[in-house]
Amino acid sequence: MANERGTSAVDSEAKFDVKLEVKSEPKPEASPEKDAYETVHSKSPLFYDLYERKSELKHQTHYCPGCGHGVAHKLIAEALQELGLQDRTIFVSPVGCSVFAYYYFDVGNVQAPHGRAPATATGIKRSCPDKIVISYQGDGDLAAIGTAEIVHAANRGEKITVFFVNNGIYGMTGGQMAPTTLVGQKSTTSPWGRRPSNEGFPIHVAELLATLEAPAYIERVALSDNKNIMKARRAIRKALEIQRDGTGFSFVEILSPCPTIMGKEPVEARRYVLDKMMPVFPLNVFRDRRPVIPVGTEPPQRPVADVLGITAKAGAPGLSLPKHAHHFRDVKIKIAGFGGQGVLLLGQLLIEMGMREELEVSWLPSYGPEMRSGSAHCHVCLSKERIGSPLISHADVLVAMNEFSLRKFAHEVPSGGIILYNGASIPADFTAPDVRVIAMPASEIADKIGSTMATNIVMLGALLEETECLAPGTAMSVLEDKVKKVSLLEIDRKALTAGRLFIDEQAHIGAVSQPDGFA
């Protein structure tokens, strides 16, 4: 199945444009059929020159001969090239045969977990609204594990483009039944054929999404013959134009052959799409209109500083950016305790403060099903630079609200780090070499102030005083915005001050050297 260049048959069909260049008028003695045209093969500039595979396979795709993915790739590449969108495009591909897209498309590429491409695409588009973000998914991915993701992305009207390759079967993993497998169709998990009484009916994704208000464009096309492939080409281009113009969510379902898993020759597999799949999944434009968004419901498109009530303009009356000399590149903080101790809230307060001081921030919670007394912790990153991951393996600071958390997470604090422990004293058998451990009776302090609920605020004050990572004034401004009850706000104000005073007056008695990371 390979030509002289060692390229699989799908390459010649799917990865190369065939152009007919008309020569000058043929000479009278020449044969018009022989000399009037010259066939020129060229590969779209959207594809890499070489595919990053084994050395002997660099001219060869992953896709089987006759696979629809190669044709879909070609149509998407053509549209992006014609629209001049290559340098703006980010391709999101999840698990399944779709995962191979990053080997071929010379654009921005992001891999997503199984079924999660719409969620990933949503985050990318919202953070980079000027980019063309494409989610490229198969039926096992989009219509099975990813059902909720695609439905909610469409319902929100995310301004992304989704190409849904529907071949009615799990292709990569061995031919299991997919949500779109036809009634009566046999698979490795439906050896008697799909039975509606047992496995249910095939899911019609395009029709399902068309019941929602927000989508702008939904169409189903097929790669069954040249006529329908040309219709697919127009639909793919239109979907990308809709995103380029900022209209809304666009979705193209592509009925596609999978010869290997179907156990058919490529031509026969295309005929199967035409004769068997299209009657069940009729081709149609299910939605083509600009969604009507109620006036006044658009989210604020303003800088973060403005959203938080802060102006960056120097000298603006009544408003100014917080003045705080950040003496670190980044600080990683883990806060741990039992549910009900305000562990997650403390993390949220810290990232709100970080945003107000124009830092990059992230917050990653982890908690059990119990509302109270279950274990809970969160990861907080404060940085002057973009944060690569919210997950913290080694925390610069551990805030342990109880002994269980102290013992569980202390080993994650590297040499030179800090542990703030909510306890009257450090347990006698506890050791943490080269780590500054501070025990403070935060719960008792909060109780004397008026409420043990303020224990986390006492710890916040201690954290700010010990690390000087954020300004206490910023903390108070955040609390004033978050706490609406005057009596509780006054308790929090006292708790914040009490935590700072404890560190300043007691923990620093005897002058312990500051760790290098906070010098």
What are the DSSP calls for 118-139, one per residue?
A: HHHHHHHHHH-TTSEEEEEEEH
Kindly state whether residues 145 and 281 are assigned to the same domain: yes
pLDDT of residue 60: 74
Q: Name residue, tokens 């929100």.
A: 156
d(CA 29, CA 39): 21
| Within-domain flag for 478 | yes
Cα(519)–Cα(509) distance, integer angstroms: 18
Which is more confidently placed, 197 or 22? 197
Which domain-ending residue is among 288, 314, 344?
Answer: 288
The answer to whether residues 382 and 284 belong to one domain is no
One DSSP character per residue, 43-81 reads E-TTB-SS-SS-GGGTT--SSPTT-HHHHHHHHHHHHHH
Question: The tokens 């995310």 sit on which residue?
Answer: 158
120 φ/ψ angles, rounded to the nearest 5 degrees: -65, -45
* Same-domain pairing of 272 and 365: no
Condensed to tens digits (0 to 9), the pLDDT of residues 69-118 reads: 999 999 999 999 999 999 999 999 998 888 889 889 999 999 999 999 99
Q: What is the pLDDT of residue 293?
A: 80
Looking at the structure, tell me whether residues 348 and 261 fall in a common domain. no
Are both 334 and 277 inside the same structural domain? no
Q: Using DSSP, state whether 162 is helix, strand or coil.
A: strand
State the Cα–Cα distance between residues 481 and 456, nearest whole angstrom.
17
- Domain co-membership, 334 together with 250: no
User: Is the backbone of residue 492 left (phi > 0), alpha (psi -120 to 50) or beta?
Assistant: alpha
Asked if the structure places residue 201 within a domain, the reply is yes
Closest CA to 456 of 430, 436, 482: 482
Q: What pLDDT score was predicted for residue 327? A: 86
Q: pLDDT, tens digit, for every residue of 38-59?
A: 767 778 899 998 877 777 777 7
pLDDT (0 to 100) of residue 478: 94
Name the token pair of 24. 């000058």
Helices first, then strands: H and E counts in the chain: 19, 15
H-helix segments, 299-396: 304-307, 343-356
The domain boundary residue, chosen from 288, 303, 320: 288
Average of per-residue pLDDT across 434-450: 94
pLDDT in tens, 292-307: 888 777 765 544 444 4
Same-domain check for residues 158 and 220: yes
Q: Which whole number is the average pLDDT over 129-144?
A: 95
254 domain residue, yes or no: yes
Same domain, 361 and 467: yes
Instruction: Say yes or no to pLDDT of 65 above 50.
Output: yes
276 domain residue, yes or no: yes
Clarify whether residues 188 and 131 are in a common domain.
yes
Query: Which two structure tokens, joined as six digits, stand for 234?
Result: 């127009």
The answer to whether residue 8 sits within a structural domain is: no
What's the structural domain count of the chain? 2
Q: Are 278 and 221 in contact (CB under 8 A)?
A: no
**Res. 223: pLDDT tops 70:** yes
Examine residue 447 and state whether it is found in any structural domain, yes or no.
Answer: yes
Same-domain status, 275 and 355: no
pLDDT at 445 exceeding the cut of 60: yes
Mean pLDDT for 455-462 is 96
- Asked if pLDDT for residue 477 goes beyond 90, the answer is yes
**Whether residue 283 is found in the same domain as residue 342:** no
pLDDT band at 32 (very low <50, low <70, confident <90, very high): low
Half-sphere exposure in the Cβ direction for 453 (13 Å, CA): 11
Predicted confidence (pLDDT) at residue 245 exceeds the cutoff of 90: yes
Choose the final residue of a domain: 264, 288, 312: 288
Q: What would the two tokens of residue 369 be?
A: 């099903």
Across the chain, what does the average pLDDT equal? Answer: 85
Query: Once rounded to an integer, what is the mean pLDDT over residues 200-224?
Result: 97
Q: How far apart are CA 304 and CA 109, in angstroms?
A: 27
Closest CA to 321 of 307, 310, 332: 310
Give the Cα separation of 114 and 518 in Å (integer). Answer: 40
- For tokens 């595919």, the residue is 51
**431 in any annotated domain:** yes
User: For helices 455-467 and 343-356, what crossing angle results, to 10°?
Assistant: 40
User: Do 113 and 55 share a domain, yes or no?
Assistant: yes
Band of residue 372 on the pLDDT scale cut at 50, 70, 90: low
Answer whether residue 340 is part of any domain.
yes
Return the CATH number at 364. 3.40.920.10
Bigger pLDDT: 288 vs 307: 288
8: pLDDT strictly greater than 80: no
Q: Is the pLDDT of residue 2 over 90?
A: no
Higher pLDDT, 235 or 99: 235
Instruction: Please tell me the distance from the alpha carbon of residue 367 to that of residue 139, in angstroms, as a whole number.
Output: 33
> DSSP string covering 389-413, please?
-S--SS-SEEEESSHHHHHHHGGGS
We report the CATH number of the domain holding residue 173 as: 3.40.50.970
User: pLDDT-derived band of residue 320, with 50, 70 and 90 as boundaries?
Assistant: very low
Percent of the chain with pLDDT strictly greater than 90 = 67
pLDDT greater than 50 at residue 165: yes
Q: What range does the domain containing 457 cover?
A: 330-518
